[in-house]
Amino acid sequence: MRFPDAEVTTLDLIRHGEPVGGRMLRGTTDHPLSERGWQQMQAAIDALMSDGMPPWDAIVTSPLARCREFALWLGEELDLPVTVEPDLAEMALGDWEGRTHAEVRALEQGDDRQAALWHDPSRTSPPGGESAAAFDIRVGSAWQGLLEEPPGRHLLVVCHLFVTNALLRQVLEQPLSRILAFDLPYAATCRIRHERHALGETSLVEWIGR
């Protein structure tokens, strides 16, 4: 704790594991986890529960199957309440949904909008998909909802790569052009600590990408 007598809310973010179908531009395409994906997430959760006891008071999850199904299973295993938050769904990728990176490059016929999206999402959107600005507003709404939790709570947030990036952007106050700054592997975890104190409120990142 950086501020004396602060009220602390802790958020652990976990990206989903590998979905059925492997790597692709999935977006809101609702694929479940593969067997390997389940194993990846179970290993990540075991690492967070280093003393064998769950540190969380509740679980919040994206509505998409690759997050929701694991969150509901874990909530039952650990006897924790689970909330499905629609605003934590992955960015809608329009015409790219359900295609591999190679398929999208072929579809674009030399105009590599994938690379342009990673370079500066504020200037490029997937064709027919969600803009970075709209996505940021949506995830920002979810972020504010998480911070409204009573102080002292420790939440596990099960979400996606782009969503994790957008949540971290809220903390780091990066420009919209850097909303996709972190390329995290499946089942990567991050921890954010939000402190309410005499000077106001401060969000701190404890670690990214374990």
Pick from 152, 188, 161, 138: nearest CA to 58: 152
> Is-catalytic flag, 160?
no
∠ at Cα 57 (180, 38), nearest 5°? 55
The question of whether 31 is a catalytic residue gets the answer no
Choosing from 16, 31, 160, 194, the catalytic residue is 16
- Find the catalytic residue in 18, 90, 97, 130: 90
Interatomic CA distance for residues 102 and 134, integer angstroms: 26
> The tokens of 114 are what?
């994938």
Angle between helical axes of 161-172 and 132-147 (0-180°, round to 10): 70
Rounded to whole angstroms, the maximal C-alpha distance in the chain is 58
CA distance 28 to 70: 17
Closest by Cα among 168, 177, 174, 154 to 208: 168
Distance of alpha carbon 82 from alpha carbon 95, whole angstroms? 32
Q: How many helices, marked H, and strands, marked E, lie in the chain?
A: 6, 6
Catalytic residue numbers read 16, 90
